[in-house]
Structure 1
Amino acid sequence: MTASCGLCERQLEHGYLCPGCTLGTAQRLDRAPRLYEALAAFLHPAGRRPEFGRSARSEAPLPIAEPAFNLRGPGGIVGVLEDWRSAMQADRGWGQPVIDGTTERRVAVAARALSINIEWIASSWPMAGAFAEEIRDLERDVASIVNPRDPKDRPRRLGYCPTLLDEVLCGAVVALLPGRTSVSCSWCGAEWPPEKWLALAQAQTDNKEALEARQKEAS
């Protein structure tokens, strides 16, 4: 009896995903942690920015770009990956996964666990098609924000935020967003107008080791 791939519907002799869709799904899982990180630069809508430093308490809350916020929230990337990991482990007769650490860490751990089991998923799991489809759609949702088809809508990544917060480097990704003439950090609110971009670039070199260490701590 022949079967069909649960994602592309190509005919199969056995299993639930064809080799191409199996590989594509594995690659999407490998990219998930980087896509999660990339969304950080899109949390504030274009044209709206915090002032330099932290907002005064009397100010209204900063606006949030809901698409990026939702994808980085509990029901976004981390929720999708952890739900599928939980379902996969349950169907394999394993215990439920232990969930702890930062959201960045949880995304990486869940994506890795699913990637390690991709061959079993493709060959033996009836839910493989639905799983692969949701992972594909999730990446498309992220890509529509961080890497839109129109080049003029794409951000220009400039490095990491070198601002000191309580004597610790911020280290968040900073990028020039479409429609903006100034770069600002979505985490701490530091701002670099065009005349300060050279200083921002120099800070990447001056603080390279500290910035790399900060990124490792966040991963």
Structure 2
Amino acid sequence: MSTCTVCHRDLYADELGCQACRPCTDRTDQHLRALAGTDGLYAQLSGRLMPGSSSGGPSVSGSRTAPLPLRMEPLSLMARGGVITILQTWLIDWHELLGWTHPRWQGDLQQQLDQVVKALRVNLQWAAAEHPAFAEFAMEVGQIRRQCEGQVTGEKPPIRVPVACPCGTVLRITMDSPGHRCGGCGEQYGHTELMNLPLAERRTAA
């Protein structure tokens, strides 16, 4: 392995043999840490469940007899099938590859979130070196953090910019895209290469 599977830059000599470079591994660790704890992003989602809370202002009921329904976006991230389930699925996969017994979950959802984040962080260096799908894991964890931050802060997702691959395929990227594979020719671009691609020309409707 001579390039990082996440950002696709060439690995330094002390990174050879790893799936990911040190900055991408550290960034993934930061994403995980941002989710956990009583003041982490996951815990803060509970304060964004009521309608009117996404902008940081007070929640409004609009009725004296019946509360408004909960906001589905933060609820879907907090509930089973959301953040915790995604991270637990990854940890199960890691345990299976290592030949370890199935991990056990204890406590409420916040406690389970903290447990799985801790376990993933403890084994992160192994995954960066050995796990064949570490790039997918790193990108998914980054996406989870951005989704949670978007619900907590009310910020809109980053704007996607169309750039043109030399083969003619239009790639839609953001300024923080770590890398992207062209669906047309299969060329793999790192962050720097993506930023150097020309903007795609707007096509007028026929």
TM exceeding 0.5 = yes
Residue 61 of structure 1 and its aligned partner are, at CA, apart by 5.5
Of 83, 90, 96, the match for 2:96:
90
Q: Equivalent residue for 2:17?
A: 14
Pairing of 1:53-202 with structure 2 (within 5 A): 59-60=65-66, 62-149=68-155
Of 51, 60, 85, the match for 1:49:
60
Question: Equivalents in 2 of 1:17, 1:148: separation in Å?
Answer: 31
Question: Equivalents in 2 of 1:67, 1:118: separation in Å?
Answer: 28
Percent of residue pairs identical? 28
Residue 146 of structure 1 and its aligned partner are, at CA, apart by 1.1
The two structures, once aligned, show a CA RMSD in angstroms of 2.2
Query: C-alpha offsets along residues 124-163 of structure 1, whole Å, 9 cap, x if unaligned?
Result: 111111111100000010111112448xxxxxxxxxxxxx
Secondary structure (helix, strand or coil) at the match of 1:4 reads: coil
Q: Equivalent residue for 1:210?
A: none
Alignment coverage as a number of residue pairs: 144
Secondary structure (helix, strand or coil) at the match of 2:51 reads: coil
Question: Equivalents in 1 of 2:102, 2:61: separation in Å?
Answer: 41
Question: Equivalents in 2 of 1:4, 1:141: separation in Å?
Answer: 28
Residue 6 of structure 1 and its aligned partner are, at CA, apart by 2.2
AA aligned to 1:20 is P
Question: Equivalents in 2 of 1:121, 1:76: separation in Å?
Answer: 22
| More helix by percentage | 1
Secondary structure (helix, strand or coil) at the match of 1:90 reads: helix
Asked if 1:3 corresponds to 2:2, the answer is yes
Question: Equivalents in 2 of 1:95, 1:73: separation in Å?
Answer: 25
Residue 73 of structure 1 and its aligned partner are, at CA, apart by 0.7
Query: C-alpha offsets along residues 33-67 of structure 1, whole Å, 9 cap, x if unaligned?
Result: 2111111110011176349xxx99xx545311111
Asked if 1:27 corresponds to 2:30, the answer is yes
Residue 75 of structure 1 and its aligned partner are, at CA, apart by 1.2
Secondary structure (helix, strand or coil) at the match of 1:15 reads: coil
Q: TM-score, normalised by structure 1?
A: 0.61
Question: Equivalents in 2 of 1:131, 1:88: separation in Å?
Answer: 11
AA aligned to 2:135 is G
Unaligned runs of 5+ in 2: 54-58, 157-206
AA aligned to 2:26 is L
Q: TM-score, normalised by structure 2?
A: 0.64
